[in-house]
Amino acid sequence: MRHLPSVIGLLPLYDAFLLDQFGTLHDGAQLYPGVPEALQAMRAAGKRLAVLSNSGKRSADNARRLARMGLPETLFDAVVTSGEVAHALLAAGRIEAARGATRCLLLERDGDGRLLDGLGLQAVPAEAAQLVVIAGSEGERRTLDSYAEQLAPLARAGRPALCLNPDKIMLTPSGPAFGAGRIAALYESLGGQVTWIGKPYPAIYAATLEALGSPQPARVAAIGDSIEHDIAGARAAGCAAWLVRTGIAAGQDAATRAAEYRHHGAIPDGILDSFG
């Protein structure tokens, strides 16, 4: 397995890159050192770049956040989020579990509700919900037990759920906390049925590669800090995969990484010390 200090060493090897956001470009509050310069070098080399994020928010929301951090939209050919892919699938009626639903319990961060715009879905209290939409976690403010208390009656009633962010761990300004994926896994443990959208599942890779002009997957490298999501998802999509040792991978030793590779059945092409 190759080991490189930064993404610059990958430029001769690939035509396009799928870039994780949280834990790769920034820590949830600020950019990692050298990220703007690395992205500018990639653009100067003619590489096609897409942010590929397990964010339950729409792509435009994430593009604006990146711009506020100092990464303007001109650095990327596309910003694709699991929330955006889910919105498109819902609008097209392509999520079977959600067909016919008009009322949902929406679990998200910040509570803006824009995810539901144009879908004919109304956010309602849990007792009135036909569907559960798990778009984000308030894990730094709420406990899993509080989510279990809220969700258990819905699971018992057979209400289907959509998970729009499969990440089990999220990075926050105050440190790691459990993510939306952990809430979705909890819902399954309570007996509920969950449809998962985002990395490592196929729909988000299909949408992102299409947004980049449908390059050959073998000429595309995905870079991220999660073996479960970034590495396994890229492998399943036929892309190269590079693990960056920041975010949730920071501090992992070789034995821990090897156990994760075995558990998720995915080994990266190599490891980067950092993105920049």
Q: Where are the domains of the chain?
A: 2-83+202-272, 96-196
Fold classified for 96-196: Rossmann fold (3.40.50)
Please give the Cα distance from 31 to 197 (Å, whole number).
Answer: 26
- 2-83+202-272 and 96-196: same fold? yes
Q: What is the pLDDT of residue 111?
A: 73
Q: What does pTM read for this prediction?
A: 0.94
Compute the distance between CA of residue 80 and CA of residue 199 in angstroms, rounded to an integer.
Answer: 11
How high is the pLDDT of residue 175? 82
Q: For residue 107, what pLDDT is reported?
A: 97
Phi and psi angles of residue 244, each rounded to the nearest 5 degrees, phi first: -100, 135
Distance in angstroms (rounded) separating the CA atoms of residues 219 and 16: 7
Burial of 210 (0-12, 13-18, 19+ CB in 10 A): exposed
Average confidence (pLDDT) per 10 residues, the chain, 276 residues = 95 98 94 98 98 96 96 97 97 96 94 87 97 96 97 98 96 87 98 98 97 97 98 98 97 95 97 97
Return the CATH superfamily for domain 2-83+202-272: HAD superfamily/HAD-like (3.40.50.1000)
Q: What are phi and psi of 222, to 5 degrees?
A: -95, 135
Work out the burial of residue 141: count CB atoms within 10 Å of its CB; fewer than 13 is exposed, 13-18 middle, 19 or more buried. Answer: exposed
d(CA 102, CA 244): 41
Side chain identity at residue 134, one-letter code: I
- Start-end of H helices in 129-201: 144-156, 180-189
Classify residue 230 by its DSSP letter.
Answer: I
